[in-house]
Structure 1
Amino acid sequence: MTRQLHARRIEGIDKNLWVEFTQLTAEYKAVNLGQGFPDFPPPSFVQEAFCKAVSGGFALHQYTRAFGHPPLVKILAKFFGRIVGRDIDPLDDILVTVGAYQALFCTFQALIDDGDEVIIIEPFFDCYQPMVKMAGGKCVYVPLRPKKDKCETSADWVLSPGELASKFTSHTKAIILNTPNNPLGKVYNQEELQMIADLCVKHDVLCISDEVYEWLTYDGAKHVKIASLPGMWERTITIGSAGKSFSATGWKVGWAMGSGHILKHLKTVHQNSVYLCATAAQEAVAHGFQREFEQFGKPESYFLQLPAKLQVKRQKLAQCLKNVGLQPIMPEGGYFMMADISTIKADVPDSTGNDEPYDYRFVKWLIKNKGLATIPVSAFYSPEHCKDFQNYIRFCFIKEDSTLNAAEKILREWSESK
């Protein structure tokens, strides 16, 4: 019976979007605006810190504290304590993980039991759904919907308060929030966060807040941590990423932050799976955050320099898409830009009988015929809603200008050939 139950939990989630499209991109040697990683190096100060860590004595080559390298958890507590306006205990309230991915996995495994309902706001990063199912939970979906009068920016995609409230039941254990959102780029404002917080408090529900793109906001949008709102610290698990913060995704250093009475359960999962993370990488990230703590709010801060750099790249990509008739949704934050492809005439093959959404077929056609890799947006939706959003694809703009220029050339030649 146990084996049968486990098989049912993983049935249908064994296929992975990233495996399929990464292989296809490599096979056709396509310009990669699909995967969300920078193709430029991290800032020199964290590179130098990593080099110093691995060229030093024996200590940083050996095990460190299982739940987080002491220098790292201390500076994270100091750094984020200032932001949320409270004292954070570095030993109790922070768990360092193998990237934000493992922080999410520990959260679901530790806190979600069989039959628990977890509200997932769509579009969502695609690992949420399988991780909830693997923990025995039930996914309950509520989509952000574009306003009927306009749909120019990610701010035009909103939650219906009534629809969201209707999803909370006596079985609801948690809600997953992602701000800035992947793939849409929506940055939830204070009013939207307060609405979610009020429902969490009213129904005694946990909030899992994925904030890995927290420093990347544009056009005056402000990232607000929902854990800073009244009554939310005690019920929020905030997920963060050094890889996204310092453009070093391969380092795989992330964290979960929250009240110690919740974090202790995540630590149990962590210590019985990976046990601890690479010491040298944690040491380098600690130096990075110490430097950012000292430069916070100043022009020298990488957390200000990176979004300024990406704002220019975002504008460049948007103009390229408009030039070929695509309709970009201008993101308020993050790495990504969605675009409406419904106005594009392309010789996309019909579904092969497997009911594959249009955006999947369009992206495959784009890779094979134009040499440009993107990601289908319906992959970020539930089966019941994916067909409603199959006219969008996702582009990544945290790329070198040479990569964006290569993509621009492909789009321009495509436009001229029509």
Structure 2
Amino acid sequence: MALGGMLRNSAAISLHLVGSLQRKKAGASLRRCLHQTLTMAKRLHARRLDGIDHNPWVEFTKLASEYDAVNLGQGFPDFPPPDFAVEAFQHAVSGDFMLNQYTRAFGYPPLTKILASFFGKLLGQEIDPLKNVLVTVGAYGALFTAFQALVDEGDEVIIIEPFFDCYEPMTLMAGGCPVFVPLKPTPTRDGELDSSSNWQLDPTELASKFTSRTKALVLNTPNNPLGKVFSKAELELIARLCQQHDVLCITDEVYQWLVFDGHQHISIASLPGMWERTLTIGSAGKTFSATGWKVGWVLGPERLMKHLYTVHQNSIYHCPTQAQAAVAESLEREQLHFGQPSSYFVQLPRAVQRSRDHMVRSVQSVGLRPVIPQGSYFFVTDISDFSEEWPAGQGVGGWRPPRAQHGLCPPESKMPDLPGAADEPYDRRFVKWMIKNKGLVAIPVSVFYSRPQQKHFDHYIRFCFVKDESTLQAMDKKLREWKDELGA
């Protein structure tokens, strides 16, 4: 074959091979593209996350940092824990080197032992530290573990409104169905401040929420955001209904040591017949003003706790040892001083009550109307005086608090156009306006309500008063500027 023919044949073969290779590459590329398209089309997130992706804390915390505002929204102290607790943590870090390693999965033994001893006396129970106590990553972890362990698909969970906002999504993530019952405010006399004790359950309405599908009721006392401390009579009503319908009680008592004005915290587990159906949840962060330690616990009967152990050992498994050791040493100290003037559980509520009273007086100066809390870190204030007009029929039974002028200018001149969408709850728009224009951060109370109830309770905002004196002074400065503007 002539050289030219050989070259032509070689070129033809090469073109054929290149074409085949290109077609294969194109086919592979097409297959990859189709595969990626099919993969991307698959549902990525679990259905249990539907509707719970938005978190108001992220939104309002971000706003607070952008405007360098005084943060009275988030519930954390901006002052140090007591000296003995800090020293206990230092001992845990610098002492026994084995505290850097794992401890017992369900709780550092000295901590579960002191929790059993300390709370056993308060609840009137013989608590076994190995069977009735679980240490968790904060009270948040305790709540999540409880819902995952005990709430099944289709189970109904009664939640009292307003509620700490994680109760609803945790119920939904476990497959449960939240059933809401509101605390209803009773009208006050003209010029009289409202109190959290005026917000009460309707016994008939509460009883109507119990069905054959009800698995649990969630109780939060002292309540966040309202600061209500449930009375013995209210707890007895709840206990009677739980026993009558064979329902569990998950009780969040993280603020149990912060009770004011002579009110008394009562644990529902201490009532006759309730220990066997109650999980009692506590927090070292709230107890010792050290929220970053993230040490919480659950106390309850073995028949319930064994299921929480199963969830814990297959999820978190273990909590930081050194923080547990510090909490154990702090509780041992408090047990020795319990009920005495030297007890932190005596000193803290007195100091916090002074801060509460200071902040209550201060916010009144600009026309906010506080609801005096019986306990917790928080109080809510009525902002309805700042609204030009409430839509007809909104509120509890169509009722809205009467407008009070406080000797200031008319409401329509107090409030400019608010940021946010027109259909957004009023309190959320108000808080955004207050952060941007007044340099003060609060949390809108509607986030603590179920969607159907939000429009009825969108005229309250929540403040945290567990703050340092310097923070209160910074707040006072902002409020004086606000008041001067109102009087201009």
Is the TM value for this pair above 0.5?
yes
Superposition deviation, residue 316 in structure 1: 0.2
Matching residue within 217, 228, 249 for 2:291 = 249
Aligned to 1:413: 481
Instruction: Give the distance between the partners of 2:418 and 2:432, measured in 1 at CA.
Output: 10
User: What SS is found at the alignment partner of 1:384?
Assistant: helix
Q: Which amino acid aligns with 1:81?
A: G
Q: Which amino acid aligns with 1:192?
A: E
Contact 1:348 1:362 (8 Å CA) reproduced = no
Superposition deviation, residue 81 in structure 1: 0.6
Superposition deviation, residue 348 in structure 1: 3.9
Contact 1:132 1:139 (8 Å CA) reproduced = yes
User: What SS is found at the alignment partner of 1:250?
Assistant: helix
Contact 2:419 2:432 (8 Å CA) reproduced = no
Superposition deviation, residue 41 in structure 1: 0.7
Moved over 6 A (4+): 3-6
Q: How does 1:35-54 map to 2 (within 5 A)?
A: 35-54=74-93
348 and 359 in structure 1: CA distance in 2 versus 1, 3 angstrom threshold: farther
User: What SS is found at the alignment partner of 2:194?
Assistant: coil
User: What SS is found at the alignment partner of 1:394?
Assistant: strand
Q: How does 1:56-135 map to 2 (within 5 A)?
A: 56-135=95-174
Aligned to 2:329: 287
Q: Which has the larger radius of gyration?
A: 2
Q: Which amino acid aligns with 2:92?
A: A
Q: Which amino acid aligns with 1:363?
A: V
Kindly indicate whether residue 237 of structure 2 is the aligned counterpart of residue 195 of structure 1. Answer: yes
Superposition deviation, residue 409 in structure 1: 1.2
Kindly indicate whether residue 270 of structure 2 is the aligned counterpart of residue 228 of structure 1. Answer: yes
Instruction: Give the distance between the partners of 1:304 and 1:6, measured in 2 at CA.
Output: 47
Instruction: Give the distance between the partners of 1:254 and 1:290, measured in 2 at CA.
Output: 16
Instruction: Give the distance between the partners of 1:73 and 1:57, measured in 2 at CA.
Output: 19
Aligned to 2:73: 34
Kindly indicate whether residue 369 of structure 2 is the aligned counterpart of residue 300 of structure 1. Answer: no
Superposition deviation, residue 351 in structure 1: 4.9
Contact 1:31 1:371 (8 Å CA) reproduced = yes
Aligned to 2:49: 10
Q: Which amino acid aligns with 1:412?
A: R
User: What SS is found at the alignment partner of 1:352?
Assistant: coil
57 and 149 in structure 1: CA distance in 2 versus 1, 3 angstrom threshold: closer
Q: Which amino acid aligns with 2:101?
A: Q
Kindly indicate whether residue 192 of structure 2 is the aligned counterpart of residue 153 of structure 1. Answer: no
Matching residue within 362, 368, 379 for 2:447 = 379
Q: How does 1:265-344 map to 2 (within 5 A)?
A: 265-344=307-386
Contact 1:341 1:392 (8 Å CA) reproduced = yes
Kindly indicate whether residue 434 of structure 2 is the aligned counterpart of residue 366 of structure 1. Answer: yes
Instruction: Give the distance between the partners of 2:279 and 2:316, measured in 1 at CA.
Output: 20
Instruction: Give the distance between the partners of 1:4 and 1:111, measured in 2 at CA.
Output: 28
Instruction: Give the distance between the partners of 1:122 and 1:101, measured in 2 at CA.
Output: 18
Instruction: Give the distance between the partners of 1:270 and 1:128, measured in 2 at CA.
Output: 18
Q: How does 1:170-185 map to 2 (within 5 A)?
A: 170-185=212-227
Instruction: Give the distance between the partners of 1:314 and 1:283, measured in 2 at CA.
Output: 32
- Please list every run of 5 or more consecutive structure 2 residues that lacks an aligned counterpart in the other structure: 1-41, 387-413
Deviation string for 1:106-165 (max 9, x for gaps)? Answer: 000000000000000000000000000000000000000101345611001000000000
Instruction: Give the distance between the partners of 2:417 and 2:221, measured in 1 at CA.
Output: 33
Instruction: Give the distance between the partners of 2:207 and 2:232, measured in 1 at CA.
Output: 18
Superposition deviation, residue 7 in structure 1: 3.7
233 and 390 in structure 1: CA distance in 2 versus 1, 3 angstrom threshold: same
Q: Which amino acid aligns with 2:166?
A: C
Q: Which amino acid aligns with 2:439?
A: G
Superposition deviation, residue 8 in structure 1: 3.3
Instruction: Give the distance between the partners of 2:92 and 2:98, measured in 1 at CA.
Output: 9
Q: Return the structure number with greater relative CO, CA threshold 8 A, min gap 6.
A: 1
Aligned to 1:402: 470
Contact 1:348 1:361 (8 Å CA) reproduced = no
User: What SS is found at the alignment partner of 1:254?
Assistant: strand
Superposition deviation, residue 222 in structure 1: 0.2
User: What SS is found at the alignment partner of 1:132?
Assistant: helix
User: What SS is found at the alignment partner of 1:385?
Assistant: helix
Q: Which amino acid aligns with 1:367?
A: I
Instruction: Give the distance between the partners of 1:19 and 1:267, measured in 2 at CA.
Output: 31
Q: Which amino acid aligns with 2:105?
A: A
- Please list every run of 5 or more consecutive structure 1 residues that lacks an aligned counterpart in the other structure: none
Superposition deviation, residue 323 in structure 1: 1.2
- Indicate the larger mover: 48-57 or 201-210: 48-57
Give the RMSD, CA atoms, in angstroms.
1.3
Instruction: Give the distance between the partners of 1:322 and 1:370, measured in 2 at CA.
Output: 15
User: What SS is found at the alignment partner of 1:224?
Assistant: coil
Instruction: Give the distance between the partners of 1:208 and 1:348, measured in 2 at CA.
Output: 42
Superposition deviation, residue 260 in structure 1: 1.1
Superposition deviation, residue 193 in structure 1: 0.2
Instruction: Give the distance between the partners of 1:202 and 1:13, measured in 2 at CA.
Output: 33
Superposition deviation, residue 5 in structure 1: 12
Contact 1:77 1:94 (8 Å CA) reproduced = yes
